[in-house]
Amino acid sequence: MKTLKRDLNYTFKDPSLFTKAMTHPSALTPGQGIDFERLEFLGDRVLGVVIANWLFHEFPHEREGDLAKRFTELVRKETLFEVAMELGLDRAMVMKREKSSSQHKRLETLLADGCEALIGALYLDGGLVAARDFIQAYWAPSIKKTLSPPRDPKSILQEWIQSQGKTHPSYVVVESSGPAHAPQFVVQVQVEGIEPVQGVGSSKRLAEKDAAQHMLDAIFSHD
């Protein structure tokens, strides 16, 4: 935790907020993780406000739909996980560590949640300025890396299917597992005339996107 505190370039007036944000409920007895969950809830909303305001001013000529695509990409679990790994939350956070085949996906969720809890703690301790400074420092590479709005792989797949005169793709959940706070879904996508492929995600939507991306990879690898 000491290394993370130094890298944040911010000194907490109330160090207990930082400790609560870095202690996942999985490491506590049942019922003792409320502080973390509340900080995570707050951090999620603060991140949304900061990113939305940033995009509004960074891309003054883009329509609402394009801004929404950028927003979704920047606040999703995968982006939070990338920031968490850059910060070293995998080493700093106190959490239950498991050795299983599903641990990586679970770790993604835990660290993404921890990143949101940290934003919540910064907001409570230093106000919007502290939270905004942190977000702008760690999200700047992501917000500037694409000149055009990101496109959802499901949308790209749908457009390709329509251009080929094929029927709509079919997404089917073939497996769901994991605890309520860290579920995992396996979704299979079927496209007329192409071998079905599967995707994995912590929600049905993310699993569908993953499956669509695998399908696109399969389609264009044969072109």
Residues noted as catalytic: 44, 116
Which three-class secondary structure state does DSSP give residue 55? helix
Spatial separation of the C-alpha atoms in residues 115 and 46, rounded to whole Å: 12
Residue found by looking up tokens 């910064």 in the block: 122
Strand 184-191 and strand 170-177: pairing? Answer: antiparallel
Q: How many CB atoms lie within 10 A of CB 119?
A: 28
Q: Please state, as a whole number, how many other Cβ atoms lie within 10 Å of the Cβ of residue 65.
A: 8
* Contact (Cβ atoms closer than 8 angstroms) between residue 20 and residue 36: yes
The H or E element containing residue 185 is strand 184-191
Integer Cα distance of 79 and 72 in angstroms: 10
Backbone angles phi, psi at 59, to 5 degrees: -125, 70
Cα distances (Å, whole numbers) of residue 167 to 119, 161, 197: 44, 7, 17
The Cα–Cα gap between 35 and 81 comes to 21
Whether the CB-CB separation of 32 and 128 falls below 8 Å is answered with no
